[in-house]
Chain A
Amino acid sequence: MAEYGTMRVKSGLAEMLKGGVIMDVVDADQAKIAEASGAVAVMALERVPADIRRDGGVARMSDPEMIREIQESVSIPVMAKCRIGHFAEAQILQALEIDYIDESEVLTPADLEHHVDKWRFTVPFVCGATNLGEALRRISEGAAMIRTKGEAGTGDIVNAVTHMRSVFGHIRKLKTLAEEELYTEAKNLQAPYDLVRWVAENGKLPVVTFTAGGIATPADAALCMQLGADGVFVGSGIFKSGDPERRAKAIVEATTHFQDAEILARVSAGLGEPMVGISTASLDPSELLESRGW
């Protein structure tokens, strides 16, 4: 009688995370700090993006032992990343009963043409996107949640803003097109016509859309929320800062009260050192993570 893994059940969990902050954590202690600070979920990974960027090499799915420790230490949902196209890593994460799989460009891609067929899984997937076409391709593969990519591990918000402007702006444009123009637009977007039409009619993506990549301050979170994000992922921004607990709490409050500048001013004060950033403009194109994914 009970049906598991339906699209409503998969996207439903993302619906519950809205207005919240999902935090990258590398061990149980960080996970507990994140939960106590009001995170709605944690992303369990071995290295935060800033360290992956610094260390180089191949970045893979985290050790199941470390994921289990984090699962046992908190009651909020635990997410984990698999490499783009690496369906075997995804199968392992499903066997671990992870709550959401992030098929992520932050890890080194395993397939240069194909993403994971996410319809085959009971566990829902979140995928990154830099523009509307990419978001709709991921949804057609079964993604139950989208996050605009930004440029992970930089502390620079500019790419996150660019990607949100691109996705949400394009949605606004779709709404103005005549019906016959939608066919050509679907071709230009390289996305299925039915999805393009749905977005044009409803003025939003059919799944929850968070923002990620470069969020380091409460003001960054408020900016993303005002631009139309349903919630935010904070990767390196919290645990690479001087006072992670305080900053985590402040970003959570800013995400709830994103329209109240007085509250934002209060929670932004005296947070200590933010993570040391890297301007994305200074990065060589080969160092950009956002261009991974097809």
Chain B
Amino acid sequence: MEKPLRIGVLAVQGNFREHAAVLRRLGAEPVEVRLPEQLEGLDGLILPGGESTAITRLMRLYGLDEALRRFEAPVFGTCAGMIVLDRDHLGLADFRVQRNAFGRQVRSFEADLDVCATRPSFRDCEKPLRGIFIRAPWIEDAGPDVEVLAEVDGHAVLARQGRVLVAAFHPELTDDTRIHELFLNLVREASSVRA
């Protein structure tokens, strides 16, 4: 049997348990990460939603920020996790994120996303993807290597740059696992290159 992929989930604050549950459903082994040494030997890492100010501070306190800059496997950030990856924070992706771009909680929403227009390789892409946006950010000022995979009102909310995948919304709060599958495919590609 194929050895399950070991995927870290940053667990300093936020909804890391839901990401871990999706990973388990897809046959991967989730590992909670609170300290730098827990990054060792991971095939990939998810940075979950939460409050980016709290997450940033808790990462810095224990040197997780430096450890993540050295982390070479694929990374998937949702919402606050996307903010942490941007140019102004860890700098692992070439874009800037506008925090709370859609507004306060009364402007939080769910909507169907068209994932076919920009990326035909998405599984069953004719089925819309339900995006849950909670005080959500969007991507601004993306560099040339950033592929935008979905938009809302002309704002990039799902994107990929090499081994980094980011979503402004919360696929872990729905039963649709396609984005996590997309990430695990990135992880498999990267592992086969390294092997």
On A, residues with C-beta under 8 Å from B are 1-6, 8-9, 12-13, 15-20, 35-41, 75-77, 94, 97-100, 122-124, 252-253, 255-257, 260
B182 in the interface (beta carbon within 8 A):
no
Look across to chain B and name the residue whose beta carbon is closest to the beta carbon of A6: B110
Cα distance A99–B173 when bound, in Å?
19
- Given A18-B15, A97-B104, A99-B105; A12-B54 close (CB under 8 Å): no
Q: Are A20 and B50 in contact (CB under 8 A)?
A: yes
Please, what's the 1-or-0 string for B1-25, where 1 marks a CB less than 8 Å from any CB in chain A?
A: 0000000000111111110000000
Q: Are B50 and A12 in contact (CB under 8 A)?
A: no
Cα distance A255–B174 when bound, in Å?
27
Q: Are B110 and A9 in contact (CB under 8 A)?
A: yes
- Nearest-neighbour CB distance to chain A for B92, whole angstroms, equals 21
In the complex, chain B residues whose CB is within 8 Å of the CB of A255 = 13
Q: Are A77 and B106 in contact (CB under 8 A)?
A: no
Q: Are A76 and B13 in contact (CB under 8 A)?
A: no
In the complex, chain B residues whose CB is within 8 Å of the CB of A98 = 104-105
Q: Are B13 and A13 in contact (CB under 8 A)?
A: no
Which listed residue, B13, B79, B173, B174, touches A19 by the CB 8 Å rule?
B13
B112 in the interface (beta carbon within 8 A):
yes
- Nearest-neighbour CB distance to chain A for B127, whole angstroms, equals 16
Q: Which are the 6 A-B pairs with shortest beta-carbon distances?
A: A99-B105, A2-B109, A40-B51, A15-B15, A19-B13, A2-B111
Q: Are B57 and A4 in contact (CB under 8 A)?
A: no
Cα distance A4–B109 when bound, in Å?
4
Cα distance A40–B55 when bound, in Å?
9
Look across to chain A and name the residue whose beta carbon is closest to the beta carbon of B174: A8
In the complex, chain B residues whose CB is within 8 Å of the CB of A100 = 105
Q: Are A3 and B14 in contact (CB under 8 A)?
A: no
- Nearest-neighbour CB distance to chain A for B1, whole angstroms, equals 29
Which listed residue, A2, A20, A77, touches B13 by the CB 8 Å rule?
A20
In the complex, chain A residues whose CB is within 8 Å of the CB of B134 = 9, 12-13, 15-16
Cα distance A17–B55 when bound, in Å?
11
Which listed residue, A9, A20, A37, touches B132 by the CB 8 Å rule?
A9
On B, residues with C-beta under 8 Å from A are 11-18, 34, 49-51, 53-54, 57-58, 61, 79-80, 99-100, 103-112, 132-135, 152, 170, 173-174
The binding surface of chain A is classed by DSSP as: loop
**What are 22 contact pairs spanning A and B, CB under 8 A?**
A4-B106, A9-B110, A12-B108, A12-B170, A13-B134, A15-B18, A15-B49, A15-B134, A17-B51, A18-B17, A18-B50, A35-B53, A38-B13, A40-B13, A94-B106, A97-B106, A99-B105, A252-B58, A253-B61, A255-B13, A256-B34, A256-B58
In the complex, chain A residues whose CB is within 8 Å of the CB of B61 = 253
- Nearest-neighbour CB distance to chain B for A123, whole angstroms, equals 6
Q: Are B12 and A19 in contact (CB under 8 A)?
A: yes
Q: Are A256 and B12 in contact (CB under 8 A)?
A: yes
- Given A3-B111, A4-B106; A20-B18 close (CB under 8 Å): no
In the complex, chain A residues whose CB is within 8 Å of the CB of B174 = 8
Q: Are A76 and B53 in contact (CB under 8 A)?
A: yes
Cα distance A253–B134 when bound, in Å?
25
Q: Are A16 and B54 in contact (CB under 8 A)?
A: no
Cα distance A40–B107 when bound, in Å?
19
In the complex, chain B residues whose CB is within 8 Å of the CB of A19 = 11-14, 16, 50
Q: Are B100 and A75 in contact (CB under 8 A)?
A: yes
- Nearest-neighbour CB distance to chain A for B61, whole angstroms, equals 7
Q: Are B109 and A9 in contact (CB under 8 A)?
A: yes
Cα distance A136–B106 when bound, in Å?
24
Look across to chain A and name the residue whose beta carbon is closest to the beta carbon of B107: A4
- Given A3-B111, A19-B11, A256-B58, 8 further pairs, Cβ under 8 A: A12-B108, A16-B15, A19-B13, A19-B16, A76-B54, A77-B105, A100-B105, A256-B11
Q: Are B106 and A123 in contact (CB under 8 A)?
A: yes
Q: Are A8 and B110 in contact (CB under 8 A)?
A: yes
- Nearest-neighbour CB distance to chain A for B58, whole angstroms, equals 6
- Nearest-neighbour CB distance to chain B for A74, whole angstroms, equals 9
In the complex, chain A residues whose CB is within 8 Å of the CB of B18 = 15
Look across to chain B and name the residue whose beta carbon is closest to the beta carbon of A12: B134
Q: Are A122 and B106 in contact (CB under 8 A)?
A: yes
Cα distance A3–B133 when bound, in Å?
10
